[in-house]
Amino acid sequence: MNHPFAFPKKEKLTGKLQIDRLFNEGRSFAHVPFRIYFRIFQDENDKGIRVLIAVPKKKLSLAVDRNRVKRLIRESYRLQKAVLSMPAMHEKSLHIGIVYTGDQADPGFALVKEKISGCLLKLKKLIEPGT
């Protein structure tokens, strides 16, 4: 049984080639304190939405802080990912990269949830058919 709020491994973007393509061929926009990269393409073997979450070491030098922010982003995305489920996306592949660009070690869950919500809504407007 697939729970609607689950974030299984198959939804995580892994693989150097796929990640390189996301950053080199994809489009991006900023929604402070995040930069969102996305790439829509056709692939029979890889349908659905896959997400990469990154917190650069330049922004937060302590691993404890980076892991905390990644955990907050993952939880926020997991709770709000239903925003991106559209009938048109069932036949395509969407890769998303969420990169934290802020320098605050613990931004708080409320702020992260609000900003991720804004990011997902903006992304939905950009990927909707007919735009």
- Residues 38 and 96 sit within 8 Å (Cβ to Cβ): yes
Spatial CA neighbour of 112 closest among 84, 70, 60: 70
pLDDT of residue 95: 95
Q: Can you count the helices (H) and strands (E) in the chain?
A: 3, 4
Go through the domains of the chain in sequence order and give each one's CATH number: 31-127 (3.30.230.10)
- pLDDT higher than 60, residue 1: no
* Burial degree of 3 (CB within 10 A; 0-12, 13-18, 19+): exposed
SS3 of residue 27 by DSSP: strand
Average pLDDT, the chain: 90
